[in-house]
Amino acid sequence: MMETLKAAVNGYGTIGRRVADAILKQDDMELAGVTKTSPDFRFLEAREKGIRVFAVSDNRPFERRGYQTEGTLKDLLKEADVVVDCAPKHSGFENLEIYNRFPGLKAIFQGGEKHSLTNFSFNSQCNYNEAGGKRNVRVVSCNTTALCRVISQIDRFYKIKKARVAVVRRSVDPGDSNKKGPVNAWEPALEYPSHHATDVSTVMPHIRISSLAGIAPMTIMHGHMLFAEFHKGPETTADVIRILSENKRIKVVSSEDGFLSTAQLKDYAESNGRNGNMYEVCVWKEGIGLDEDGELGMHIAIDQQADVVPENIDAIRAMFGMMSAEESIAKTNASLGIGSKSRVLEKEETILS
């Protein structure tokens, strides 16, 4: 029997540090260590948490500051069964060459890489079983993860004829406010469809979907306006609320409870023991509607820094065949507090039942 699985995280940035924190919360895997390119505050943060830090390639910047690492990425990879690549987007092809030099090492990449890097794009609730035995897997982006969750949950109950989505992207992550972004303007992605629809098709090829996207001057969460036509759809919005609420990775929230914008959702995530991470995709109850043709519409909010984190944990278990999709999703949910019921949501369920 394999000893506890050892996972490495290459790139301790926005996604990497959250994936590392999530690995630390699992009882069936160990964090072998993380890598850093430079000795900045995240290096200190990792060390304060007792995480072993390795240099990506060059130890000298650390030595110059009087800090010691545990070695380099190559030393870390020798110890690991799987590496979760959280390096900046488009580093994937270069990094895959490095990983391939370690026989038996599996690798998980993020949504900033192309589907063609691994030829397999992952979402826990859509294709967990197909990841079994794969050496390399790509967890789709935050936006695509959200769309896969919501669309697959609806499609399980009502067959979708065609989905359309308008994607309002945050300009930069909150910690990157020194980077560029539209400061006071709307920056449309000048392509139709935007890459989001194409990316959903890498996971759910049977769904017909089209998308348009653009960047707004905000750092807190992405927003989607999703529309769906059906072959045979829901009769009431209560039906939609009920099926969405059944999925722990989707949180149906209400304006009656003061959730009027993404600001309150993030604020809520700050105060309930999740370190500000809203792992669930949020859907506003009052924004769900059906028009006279039976077309469904809804507003969705996505914490871009958090929703892919549980998927990375599930991807590890899926690739190593450690347990079924249902078991892994439930285990990851429990470890990260996903789907934990607030008093507000319990009240919501009582009203629905």
Residue least distant from ligand NAD (Cβ): 13
* Annotation says 126 is catalytic: no
Cβ atoms 120, 46 nearer than 8 A: no
Minimum Å gap between C-beta 173 and ligand NAD is 5
Nearer to ligand NAD, 40 or 349 (CB): 40
Q: Would you give the binding string for ligand NAD spanning residues 304-343, x where CB under 6 A is met?
A: xx--x-----------------------------------
Nearer to ligand NAD, 6 or 170 (CB): 170
Minimum Å gap between C-beta 54 and ligand NAD is 10
Q: Which stretch binds ligand NAD (CB under 6 A): 7-15, 184-192, 197-205, 327-335?
A: 7-15
Q: Decide: is 37 part of the binding site for ligand NAD (CB under 6 A).
A: yes
* Distance spanning both ends of the chain, measured CA to CA: 45
Question: Could you give the CA distance from residue 313 to residue 323 in angstroms, rounded to a whole number?
Answer: 12
Q: Decide: is 35 part of the binding site for ligand NAD (CB under 6 A).
A: yes
Determine which residue in the list 6, 7, 16, 84 makes contact with ligand NAD, applying CB under 6 A.
16
Q: Would you give the binding string for ligand NAD spanning residues 104-133, x where CB under 6 A is met?
A: ------xxxx--------------------
Q: Which stretch binds ligand NAD (CB under 6 A): 157-165, 199-207, 272-280, 300-308?
A: 300-308
Q: Which stretch binds ligand NAD (CB under 6 A): 10-18, 274-282, 287-295, 321-329?
A: 10-18
Q: Decide: is 12 part of the binding site for ligand NAD (CB under 6 A).
A: yes
Minimum Å gap between C-beta 219 and ligand NAD is 10
Q: Decide: is 173 part of the binding site for ligand NAD (CB under 6 A).
A: yes
Kindly list the residues in this chain that would bind ligand NAD in the complex (CB under 6 A): 10-16, 35, 37, 56, 86-89, 91, 110-113, 141-142, 173, 304-305, 308
Q: State the catalytic residues.
A: 142
